[in-house]
Amino acid sequence: MADSIEAMIDRLRALEEQLEAAFAVRAGSHGLDLKSGKPRFGPEVRASQRGHKRRIHFFKTPWPTLLTLPLIYGMVIPMALMDLAVSVYQLGCFTAWGIERVRRRDYVVIDRHRLSYLNPVQKLNCVYCGYGNGVIAYAREITARTEQYWCPIKHALKVKGSHERYAGFLDYGDAEGFVKSSAAYRERLKKARAAASVGTTKAD
């Protein structure tokens, strides 16, 4: 049974990679070209995009939206504090435990403000959402690695939206497996750091 679960996880990851490749192909059909890790559009595509830009009409903004603006943008403060807190946390803890730190730039991606068909308000909103969701994803991966290091055990009840490491955790109630394998879960994190270090050295 364990082997079949591992096989299903491998198939799921392969499908995720195929899905990402399909998204990239579809984005390319809109004229997107990634150069040096930055999205680029040709002059003709940018001109076409600007033709779809909507004007800003503050006086036509619904009043419920205006009333919730302080609540929406006020969340920047706790998100920034969380961003700082988890960064300091992993710098101290992950270094002490000898496991690979999460690269923030892999999760906090802000690039939608470059789209020519967005007006300034829409660009601001896209920066805000990109930052907020990115920080949450960044913090989640940090806590996921912490969970793998200390308690790689599934819950008895179904968990919605579990992180990608969760599927490989030990079954709830598998006492023998926990005693035998919990150290192995920590070693996987340490090996990942060693592999990353080797890759960086080769790149240099």
Each residue's pLDDT, cut to its tens digit, for the chain (204 residues) gives: 556 766 776 777 777 777 776 765 665 556 666 666 677 666 666 667 676 677 777 777 888 888 999 999 999 999 999 999 999 999 999 999 999 999 999 999 998 888 888 999 999 999 999 999 999 999 999 999 999 999 999 999 998 989 989 988 999 999 999 999 989 999 989 877 766 655 554 555
Number of other residues whose CB lies within 10 A of the CB of residue 94:
19
Helix (H) or strand (E) holding 75: none
User: pLDDT at position 112, please?
Assistant: 86
* pLDDT given at position 190: 86
Quote the pLDDT of residue 168.
87
CA 69 to chain centre: 25
pTM score, two decimals?
0.79
Residue 112 near residue 98 (C-beta atoms within 8 A): no
In Å, how far from its chain's centre is CA 122?
Answer: 22
Taking the C-alpha atoms of residue 3 and residue 6, their distance in angstroms, rounded to an integer, is: 5
Q: Which pLDDT belongs to residue 202? A: 54
Residue 153's φ and ψ, nearest 5 degrees, are -125, 135
Within 10 A of 113 (CB to CB), how many other CB atoms are there? 14
Across 18-114, where does the E strand assignment appear? 33-35, 38-40
pLDDT recorded at residue 148: 95
> How many helices (H) and strands (E) would you count in the chain?
6, 2
Q: For residues 66 and 189, what is the distance between their CA atoms, to the nearest angstrom?
A: 46
DSSP-assigned beta bridge partners for residue 39:
34
User: How many Cβ atoms from other residues are within 10 Å of residue 155's Cβ?
Assistant: 10
